[in-house]
Chains A and B, each alone.
Chain A
Amino acid sequence: MRLLTFKHGIHPDYHKWFTREKGIRKTDLPQMVVIPLKQHLGAICNPIVNKGDEVKVGQKLGDNDAFVSCPVHSSISGIVKSIGPYQHPGGDMVDSITIESDGKDEPFRAHRPPQDISTLQPDEIRNIIRETGIVGLGGAAFPTHVKLNPPKEKQINTVIINGAECEPYLTADHRLMLERSEDIIYGIKAVMKLLGVRKSYIGIEANKKDAIAVILKGLEKEKDADISVVSMKVKYPEGAEKMLIYAILKREVPAGGLPMDVGVVVQNVGTTIAIADAIQRSKPLIERVVTVTGLGVKRPGNLLVKIGTLFSDVIKECGGLKDGARKVLMGGPMMGIAQYSLQVPVVKGTSGIVVLVDDELKLEKTVPCIGCGNCVKACPMFLLPTRLASYTDHDMLDKADEYGILDCIECGSCVYVCPSKLHLVQLIRLGKAKILDKKRGKGVKK
């Protein structure tokens, strides 16, 4: 099979051996969960339970009527202890619901009965996806029902399932493909029926040959659906939406555009499993697979974690931190967010918890740009990272906008190759924040 890929990109050390052979294991029931009312991109939910209420597993805790929003559900049964601001792993304080477990893990009764896609209408499937609170589980956490509701003028003709998992260390999607291939195929069929699409691809990086074999075997039974598995070159960021579309279909998403502009919808493998769970088992999104890994963890593994479990509990489950553990990241080392406390909850977008040790952290001094152009060669979006960063540094925001700063996907490839160790992505993020403030009509803070 010819390996598909995109132009530019980098080859970091993958470090996947920590957890790639470790099967998904369930964690113990946590004593307490903290469920942020905002675990997705879009409007924050309004709580619909009160302090002191008794809640069951899968009961809806908050919802919002805004189009880009989706509800959150309780992942354990117990009593609502408090509702108020709590540290979110994304970095802000977000209103959250703290639930203390009663240890019974009782399911919520008012669920609809399990259904099957053969009897469901497209709108019904979309409604189920919204009501079960499914978001993109790759990390960005964009509400899935919004993604699956493209405007009429955008004709969708292909669905791409993202099994690339190009981020170093993480193996959650890999394990899911090995262990739950049937649900993945079921979820793909649901998405295809919803969108009325005939063709779909599952893109998997070539370092996961076992996963490719398992999915191909699963597809043998599905003669009527046109689903093909494509093997892709091992390169970062192969799993970024726009890179994936280019690699598989050779279609380029226009600047400032979305995949739907080229007739494509991309879903993560984890999301398809959540969709299958929602339809077949009427289970809302209350747990997800998290890769807990890195040299700083005693027993790395892939864990099925209830949403809202604190990082400290998850790490305790993995034998705790080793001496010398220094930096905890939510997500992978390339795009993950550093945490200063372990008292933050796992949210829908937590694909991994990576703990790095002292020796791995190379906090090198930054020196001025030497103009080598490595970042330009690495940038998968064909931008000029050093130029964008220096425009931001000199407060030339119009120029930065003109040079496409808003198209940056913040993958970190430029920083990885920079010999001067410049904080390019940080500067670009600052520039993006300032430009977006300006566009929304707020005063620009320097």
Chain B
Amino acid sequence: MENIFILGLASMGGLGFLLASCLALASKKLRVEEDPRIAMIREVLPSANCGACGMPGCFNFAEGVVGNEVSISGCPVGGANTAQEIARIMCVEIEGFQRKVAKVLCQGGLKETERKAVYYGIVDCRSASMISGGEKVCEWGCIGYSNCIKACKFDAIYMNRNGLPVVDEDNCTGCGRCVEACPRNLIEMHPPEVMVHVYCKNHAPGKIARKICKKACIACKLCVKPCPDNIHIEDNLAVIDYSNGFIGDRICTEKCPTDSIVYN
């Protein structure tokens, strides 16, 4: 009886020792070298796996940074601080990091626009716009079925009582998912320092535009006169040229009869 006990103990122990030494050997011989910087960069990334950098997730972004495939400041969510940290890990200097936040360029909420029909169907902007262009008369404006809100992973957009999405600029990380989500291309990314925006995408001639929305751009050119270098009218809509570092001036917005160009 005692014999069997010792035999069992010895054989199992021996087998365990043998396999353990195999594993130990394998871990030495078959070791995959991973750049330690990947793990370090992963530590400083936000780990939201939102895909805003263009990579499938944060790990892939870290790999990409080490493999020199993506820019160090490529993570818009982490912003300047993360970029600084990554630069420290990679031992390089970075150029200025520009923070950007989303702007919803439409003010045509429930109060401002007319409705031409009642929509009954799934809550999805694109689906609503596929049926005769949605409920609102304006065919360029916000449809109001919150595709952008569903796309936002950081709770930075909410719907106000007027049926328009509002961006919470403190929470906005600039990932740009809402830009992709909007079927009307109403959301644009701008640095928060830029103060003046045209909150309208209506290309209808002034007379019609005024009829379909109270806050539509009617292309009256009153904003072009004070700021001729930076604002011009393109296809019945005022367009601001930000390329030369223009961040806005109160004068540009004061004359607007419909409040479609706003300083804020």
Interface residues of A (CB under 8 A from B): 87, 91-93, 337-341, 363, 423, 426-427, 429-430, 433-434, 443-446
Contacts and interface: CB of A to CB of B under 8 A. Distances in A.
A426 B181 contact: no
Given A91-B132, A339-B132, A433-B130, A446 B147 contact: yes
A340 B132 contact: yes
B130 A340 contact: no
A64 B120 CA distance: 37
B147 A338 contact: no
B139 A93 contact: yes
A423 B116 contact: no
Interface of B: 116-117, 120-122, 124, 126-127, 130-133, 139, 147, 150-151, 180-183
Interface SS of chain B: loop
B122 A427 contact: yes
A338 B131 contact: yes
Contact of B124 (A87, A430, A444): A430
B152 to A, nearest CB: 11
B147 A426 contact: no
A443 B127 contact: no
Nearest to A393: B122
Residue of B127, B139, B180, B183 with most chain A CB atoms under a 10 A cut-off:
B127
17 contacts: A87-B132, A91-B133, A93-B139, A337-B131, A337-B132, A338-B117, A339-B132, A426-B122, A427-B127, A430-B122, A430-B126, A434-B126, A444-B180, A445-B180, A446-B126, A446-B150, A446-B181
A291 to B, nearest CB: 22
A87 B120 CA distance: 20
A430 B123 CA distance: 12
Contacts of B116: 340-341
A445 B132 contact: no
A310 to B, nearest CB: 16
Contacts of A444: 180
A444 B183 CA distance: 9
Contact of B126 (A341, A363, A433): A433
Question: Lowest 10 CB-CB distances: which A-B pairs, in order?
Answer: A340-B117, A446-B181, A91-B132, A423-B122, A430-B127, A340-B116, A445-B183, A426-B121, A423-B121, A426-B122
Residue of A339, A340, A363 with most chain B CB atoms under a 10 A cut-off:
A340
Given A91-B130, A443-B180, 19 more contacts: A87-B132, A91-B131, A91-B132, A91-B133, A338-B132, A340-B117, A341-B116, A363-B120, A423-B122, A426-B122, A427-B127, A430-B126, A433-B130, A434-B126, A445-B180, A445-B182, A446-B151, A446-B180, A446-B181
